[in-house]
Structure formats: structure tokens, C-alpha cells
């Protein structure tokens, strides 16, 4: 690492820009390369690195990602972030008996070893999340389920046929020929099935792998769009069918139908609450209840508009997540956040305020949540469900519940422990558990 | 000696061929049926000594067929060996709850299936 300035050495304060520069050089990265990855000019990065420009919010997050470092470590308070991570690592392996009250001392005396502990803890957590996602897919993914059935059926036929031939007993030549042919056919089928499986599992996970459900196609399309339909933002009357036909992610007729309904609602939401009005109101408050009152819109509509905003429009630079379900509890809208996974298949955690909202329609439910896992990330959730009568009051009542999610920077004193779904949640004593967890099997 | 009959309800042709060969060589008469929707009719048409029932079938699952079988007074006591590629505990529990006499996961060995068939029919 480069030497800190004399002043920094005297005061013991290492500024964010200096940390960024140190990390960059430590990773053998040129200034131009880092600037390009973060979407800023090299000259601006140079100003940041020499502490002539403040750094924070979304740009700090981008720089941290490019440098594979934690934002808190770059911005300062590194020791706090480090000891917190060490404490979490110790908490996840209580039998190791790590001296948790001496973590700060350890980090101060052996910063390299402390960073190693932190890095290994985060890697373990990352892998754990991958396992959770894969388990969710294996259990509920219809394509994987069918593929595994295909593979096992082929293996079964090959095993039985080859055992007959290898048995030693005399078999009529025509039967030998038949079983040889069957083994050949099944081995070919097995090769094809495993090739498809590998391709499927290797598919780009940034887009959530290949979509197997129409709703997933729509979600992948929205991810590609950054959760905002610019054409409708500027003109709510923009041709919806044209938008759908241009979307390469919308392959199936069902997905295109869902997308049309989504865009119809999107246009209605823009008409009721233009982006400019929302951004202006956010200068005054970010409390959803106050915003809805101020802007004269319903909470679900406000929630949907808030998630179209990117981090540059938000004071803390942290985008919102949003989940919605219908009256059966089936998820109909998913915009997850890092640390708040929303199951792709199968049912979600029954303790989410989203579902409590179904029982208390037209009431705002606010809850601090701790998402079960080694990170125990904290979130603020605001849920609201509303009832409509699309076919008039003589027709059925249709209920939708919406839950807005925001990460909390500091851990709240009181929070409800929740998970993604019972199957991948480690909270064994949860009163709402519906099935055993894969971590307890 | 009365001919012992097995009805194999399975839609994978090569598995059918292998099981039929193994059991026939042991003196069993093996009838087969591939469609889930009409499986119960096939059982009713001539009640076998044993049903070997795959779980994943076209049009109707083996669990539903088993449920219907056990609900039918005339067929309720027919021994059933369930075959499945899904070997999780919950699948086994469901099969037992619905009344399967035995549950076997794929891939199985030829000796295993022969032994089980002999045990179930006696």
C-alpha cells in the first residue's frame, strides 16, 4: 500500500480517496480501468483518489464492487466493518469458542489475518446463498424436475438391461440384440438429457437463468430494463403492444399477455403519479405513508412507482425492493434486493408482512425484519393490501397485497426474524415453519 | 398352478422391456399399461396379483391412481409396489400414507425388484 500523507499519519485518519487508491494499486488496476468500470472519467477518479471530491452513495458502491471491497471499508469505519464481520463469523461457529470480546484487539494487531477471516466468512455466505438458490431450483424448478426424471429413467433402463446381459445366463440372440439396442438408445438419451441440464445450469444467472415461467420472462425483461419503462414515463399513452413485441425476453404468449397487463398498469400509475412529482415529493420526505397522502395516491401505486426509481433519485442511494401476492398467497410480482431473496419457486416465508396484509386489508403494516442467514441483514418492510371488484360489486372480490422493502443501514433494536422460505431457513424454532429446512436434514 | 399376474404401469418402454423380461423368466405373466388416465380401468379389467406402479405417468400421477385404487372396495387390497425417481422422505411417506405396500427408487437392481415382487405376492 502507498504511504499515507504525513497529516494522515499524524491524525491517524485515512481518507476514503486514499483507501480507494490503495485498494486499486493493491489489485494492480490502472486508474483508467477502474474509472471505466465505474462509469466516470479518469480525471474525476483522480480527484476522488486525492480526496478533492467527496465520494458516497451509488458511486461508492460501484467503486467498491469494481475493487471487490466493502463500501464501508472504503469510506472509513473499516475497523468497525471488519470487527462486525469477525463477530458474525464467530457467531456462525460458536463451538470454535472465538474470543468475540477481543475481536477489535485482534483486528488492530493482525489486520491481515482479520481481513482473511472476514473474506472467508463472506465467501462462505456467498456460497451458502448459491446453495439456497440451487436447492430452491432443484426442489421446485419444473424443468430440473423433468430433466432429473429423464436422467434417472435412462439410468434405470441401462442398469436393468446391462444387468440382464451380464448376468451369465443364456439369453436368446434376439433378446440380446434388443437389450443392446435399448442400452444404446438410453445412453444417447442420457447424454442428451445431461447436456441439456448442464446448459440450463450454466445459463447466465444475472438474468436469473433461463425463464421457465411466464412471470420469470417478464421479470427478466424488467431487469434488462432497469425496472423502468422510459417510453411510458415520458408518454403514458405509448403503444404497449409495440413495447411487448420488441422485448426479446418475452418469448411465450403467456409472458406477452402478462407483460401487456403489467404495462397497462404501469401507464395508469404514471398518469396518476408522474416521475417528476414523485422525485419532487421525495425531497420533502421518504416516508411512504406521508408520500401517498401528499401525492393523493394509494400505497400500492406509490410502492410500484418507487421501485422504478434508480439509486440516483434516492437520498441514500439504495433502491427499493417490492413483492406482491394475490389472495392465494401466490407471488405475482418480484423485485428482490441483495440480502432479501424472494423464492423463485415454492412458497415464501409465512411471516412476511406481505401475508399479514391479506388478513388486514387497507391497513398499512410496518415491520423491521431481520433476514435469516449468516449476514442477518436488516430491512424495513411496509405492506398494504387492497380489495378490488373488477366485475362490479356483484362479482368476486380480488385482493392484492404489496410489500415495499428497504435495506436498513443500522440494525434496529426490535425486528421480526424472517427467512426466504421454510426450506432454506435455518430458524428451527420458528412457530410458522411449514416444512423442514435443508439445513436441518 | 395358477398363473401369477403382474400389471406394470410404466411409460418408459425400455424399463418395461427389462422388467417384463426379468419377471417372465421367473414365471410371471406381465401385462403392461402406459397411460395414467386409463390405468384404473386396466386394473379393473383383470385384477392382477400385484401392481407395479410408476409415480410419473402421462395424464395422471401414480399417487392419484393409488389413491383411487385404495378407495375402490373391489381393488383396495391389491398389493402395490411404487416406483419413482424421487427418493426423498416425503415421497416415501406419501406413498405409504396412500397405501403402497412397498416403495422403490430408480435406479433399482433387477434382483431387488424380483425379490420384492416375490415377497409381496408370496
Confidence at residue A202, expressed as pLDDT on a 0 to 100 scale: 66
Grid coordinates of A326: 394475490
Local confidence band at A8 (pLDDT 50, 70, 90 cut-offs)? very low
Asked if B58 reaches chain A (Cβ–Cβ under 8 Å), the answer is no
Q: Answer yes or no: is A46 within a domain.
A: yes
Confidence at residue A303, expressed as pLDDT on a 0 to 100 scale: 97
Distance (Å) of CA A383 to CA A344, A352, A358, A425: 20, 9, 9, 22
Local confidence band at A3 (pLDDT 50, 70, 90 cut-offs)? very low
Of A18-22, A269-273, A437-441, least confident by mean pLDDT is A437-441
Give per-residue pLDDT as tens, A10-44.
333 456 788 888 889 888 899 999 999 998 888 88
pTM of the model: 0.50
- Mean pLDDT, chain A, rounded, equals 84
| Residue A146: partners with Cβ closer than 8 Å, 6 or more residues away | none
Give per-residue pLDDT as tens, A181-207.
999 999 998 888 888 777 776 654 444
Say whether both A337 and A441 belong to one domain.
yes
Say whether both A433 and A346 belong to one domain.
yes
Chain B: residue whose CA lies nearest to A187: B14
Report the alpha-carbon distance of residue A347 to residue A43 in Å, rounded: 49
Instruction: Indicate the burial class of B58 (C-beta count within 10 angstroms; 0-12, 13-18, 19 or more).
Output: exposed
Say whether both A23 and A104 belong to one domain.
yes
Q: Answer yes or no: is A393 within a domain.
A: yes
CATH number at residue A420: 3.30.450
* Chain A residues touching residue B21 (CB < 8 angstroms): 164, 175, 179
Asked if B26 reaches chain A (Cβ–Cβ under 8 Å), the answer is no
Taking 3-state DSSP, the helix, strand and coil percentages for chain B, each rounded to the nearest 5, stand at 45, 20, 35
Confidence at residue A81, expressed as pLDDT on a 0 to 100 scale: 66
Q: Is the pLDDT of residue A340 over 80?
A: yes
CB-nearest to B107 from A149, A159, A178 is A159
Give per-residue pLDDT as tens, A409-420.
888 889 999 988
Confidence at residue A4, expressed as pLDDT on a 0 to 100 scale: 44
State whether residue A349 is helix, strand or coil: coil
Q: Tell me which long-range contacts A408-412 makes (C-beta under 8 A, separation of at least 24).
A: A408/A368, A408/A378, A408/A379, A408/A380, A409/A316, A410/A378, A411/A370, A411/A376, A411/A378, A412/A368, A412/A378
Tell me the CATH number of domain B4-116, given options 3.40.50.2300, 3.30.9.30, 2.60.290.11, 2.60.200.20.
3.40.50.2300
Residue A151 carries which DSSP code? H
Binary contact (B14, A152; C-beta < 8 A): no
* Chain B residues touching residue A167 (CB < 8 angstroms): 110
Confidence at residue A274, expressed as pLDDT on a 0 to 100 scale: 95
* Chain B residues touching residue A178 (CB < 8 angstroms): 17
ipTM higher than threshold 0.85: yes
CB-nearest to A161 from B18, B56, B108 is B18
Strand order in the sheet with B4-9: B28-33, B4-9, B50-54, B80-84, B102-105
Of A70-74, A209-213, A321-325, least confident by mean pLDDT is A209-213
Confidence at residue A76, expressed as pLDDT on a 0 to 100 scale: 65
Local confidence band at B30 (pLDDT 50, 70, 90 cut-offs)? very high
Size of interface A-B (CB pairs under 8 A): 53
Q: Answer yes or no: is A297 within a domain.
A: no
CB-nearest to B18 from A149, A155, A164 is A164
Grid coordinates of A430: 420458528
By percentage, how much of chain A surpasses pLDDT 70? Answer: 87
The count of domains in chain A is 3
Q: Answer yes or no: is A243 within a domain.
A: no
Give per-residue pLDDT as tens, A391-407.
899 889 999 999 999 99
Say whether both A90 and A158 belong to one domain.
no
Say whether both A98 and A181 belong to one domain.
no
Confidence at residue A238, expressed as pLDDT on a 0 to 100 scale: 94
Q: What's the gap in Å between the CA of B108 and the closest CA on chain A?
A: 7
Q: What number is the average pLDDT over the span B6-28?
A: 94
Best residue in A160, A162, A163, A184 for a mutation probing chain B (most B CBs within 10 Å): A160
Say whether both A367 and A434 belong to one domain.
yes
Local confidence band at B94 (pLDDT 50, 70, 90 cut-offs)? confident
State whether residue A394 is helix, strand or coil: coil
Q: What number is the average pLDDT over the span B90-115?
A: 90
Q: Answer yes or no: is A415 within a domain.
A: yes
CB-nearest to A157 from B18, B86, B109 is B18
Chain A: residue whose CA lies nearest to B55: A149
Local confidence band at A210 (pLDDT 50, 70, 90 cut-offs)? low
Binary contact (A160, B12; C-beta < 8 A): no
Exposure string for A221-250, b = 16+ CB within 10 A, e = fewer: bbeeeebebebbbeebebebeebbeebebb
Distance (Å) of CA A221 to CA A234, A241, A336, B118: 19, 15, 14, 56
Closest of A67, A79, A68, A62 to residue A13, by C-alpha: A79
Which structural domain range is residue A391 located in? Answer: 312-441
Closest of A25, A28, A33 to residue A1, by C-alpha: A25
Q: What's the gap in Å between the CA of A258 and the closest CA on chain B?
A: 27
Confidence at residue A137, expressed as pLDDT on a 0 to 100 scale: 65
Report the alpha-carbon distance of residue A60 to residue A20 in Å, rounded: 10
Per-residue three-class SS string for A117-139: HHHHHHHHHHHHHHHHHHHHHHH
* H helices, E strands: number in chain B: 5, 5
Contact A405, A381 (CB under 8 A): yes
Instruction: Indicate the burial class of A334 (C-beta count within 10 angstroms; 0-12, 13-18, 19 or more).
Output: buried
Confidence at residue A138, expressed as pLDDT on a 0 to 100 scale: 66
Chain B: residue whose CA lies nearest to A175: B21
Residue ending a domain, choose from A180, A205, A230 = A205
Grid coordinates of A180: 443392446
Grid coordinates of A309: 426509481
A156 phi and psi angles, rounded to 5 deg: -60, -45
Residue A430: other Cβ atoms inside 10 A: 18
Q: Which of residues 141-160 of A touch B (CB under 8 A)?
A: 148-149, 152-153, 155-157, 159-160
Binary contact (B106, A185; C-beta < 8 A): no
Amino acid at each position: 500500500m502507498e504511504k499515507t500523507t504525513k497529516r494522515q499519519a499524524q491524525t491517524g485518519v485515512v481518507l476514503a480517496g486514499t483507501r480507494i487508491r490503495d485498494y486499486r494499486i493493491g489489485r494492480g488496476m490502472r486508474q483508467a480501468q477502474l474509472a471505466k468500470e465505474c462509469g466516470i472519467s479518469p480525471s474525476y477518479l483522480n480527484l476522488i483518489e486525492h480526496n478533492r471530491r467527496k465520494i458516497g452513495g451509488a458511486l461508492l458502491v460501484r467503486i467498491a464492487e469494481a475493487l471487490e471491497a466493502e463500501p464501508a471499508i472504503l469510506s472509513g469505519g473499516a475497523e468497525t466493518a471488519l470487527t462486525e464481520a469477525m463477530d458474525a463469523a464467530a457467531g456462525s461457529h460458536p463451538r470454535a469458542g472465538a474470543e468475540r470480546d477481543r475481536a477489535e484487539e485482534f483486528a488492530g494487531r493482525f489486520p491481515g489475518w482479520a481481513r482473511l477471516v472476514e473474506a472467508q466468512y463472506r465467501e462462505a455466505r456467498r456460497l451458502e446463498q448459491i446453495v439456497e438458490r440451487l436447492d430452491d431450483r432443484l426442489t421446485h424448478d419444473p424443468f430440473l424436475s423433468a430433466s432429473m426424471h429423464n436422467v434417472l429413467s435412462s439410468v434405470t433402463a441401462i442398469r436393468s438391461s446391462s444387468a440382464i446381459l451380464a448376468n451369465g445366463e443364456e439369453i436368446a440372440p434376439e433378446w440380446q440384440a434388443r437389450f443392446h439396442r435399448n442400452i444404446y438408445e438410453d445412453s444417447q438419451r442420457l447424454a442428451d438429457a445431461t447436456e441439456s441440464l448442464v446448459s440450463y445450469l450454466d445459463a447466465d444467472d444475472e438474468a436469473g437463468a433461463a425463464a421457465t415461467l411466464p412471470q420469470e420472462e417478464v421479470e427478466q425483461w424488467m431487469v434488462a430494463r432497469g425496472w423502468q419503462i422510459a417510453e411510458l414515463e415520458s408518454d403514458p399513452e405509448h403503444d404497449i403492444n409495440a413495447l411487448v413485441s420488441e422485448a426479446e425476453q418475452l418469448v411465450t404468449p403467456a409472458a406477452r399477455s402478462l407483460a401487456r397487463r403489467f404495462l397497462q398498469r404501469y401507464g395508469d400509475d404514471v398518469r396518476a403519479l408522474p416521475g417528476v412529482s414523485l422525485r419532487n415529493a421525495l425531497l420533502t420526505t421518504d416516508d411512504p405513508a406521508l408520500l401517498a397522502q401528499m401525492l393523493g395516491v394509494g400505497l400500492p401505486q406509490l410502492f410500484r412507482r418507487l421501485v422504478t426509481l434508480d439509486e440516483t433519485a434516492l437520498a441514500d442511494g439504495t433502491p427499493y425492493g417490492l413483492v406482491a401476492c394475490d389472495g392465494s398467497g401466490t407471488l405475482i410480482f418480484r423485485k428482490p434486493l441483495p440480502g432479501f431473496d424472494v423464492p423463485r419457486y415454492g412458497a415464501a416465508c409465512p411471516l412476511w408482512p406481505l401475508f399479514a396484509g391479506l388478513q388486514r386489508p387497507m391497513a398499512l403494516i410496518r415491520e423491521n425484519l431481520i433476514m435469516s442467514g449468516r449476514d442477518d441483514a436488516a430491512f424495513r418492510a411496509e405492506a398494504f393490501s387492497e380489495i378490488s371488484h373488477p366485475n362490479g360489486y356483484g362479482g368476486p372480490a380480488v385482493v392484492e397485497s404489496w410489500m415495499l422493502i428497504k435495506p436498513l443501514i443500522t440494525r434496529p433494536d426490535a425486528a421480526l426474524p424472517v427467512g426466504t422460505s421454510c426450506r432454506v431457513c435455518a430458524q428451527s424454532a420458528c412457530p410458522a415453519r411449514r416444512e423442514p429446512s435443508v439445513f436441518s436434514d | 398352478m395358477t398363473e401369477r399376474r403382474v400389471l406394470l404401469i410404466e411409460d418408459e418402454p425400455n424399463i418395461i422391456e427389462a422388467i417384463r423380461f426379468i419377471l417372465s423368466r421367473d414365471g410371471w405373466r406381465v401385462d403392461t399399461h402406459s397411460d395414467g388416465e386409463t390405468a384404473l380401468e386396466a386394473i379393473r379389467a383383470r385384477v392382477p396379483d400385484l401392481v407395479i406402479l410408476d409415480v410419473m405417468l402421462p395424464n395422471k400421477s401414480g399417487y392419484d391412481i393409488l389413491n383411487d385404487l385404495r378407495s375402490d372396495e373391489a381393488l383396495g387390497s391389491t398389493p402395490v409396489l411404487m416406483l419413482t425417481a424421487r427418493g426423498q422422505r416425503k415421497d416415501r411417506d406419501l406413498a405409504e400414507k396412500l397405501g403402497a405396500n412397498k416403495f422403490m427408487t430408480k435406479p433399482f437392481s433387477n434382483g431387488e425388484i424380483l425379490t420384492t415382487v416375490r415377497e409381496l405376492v408370496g
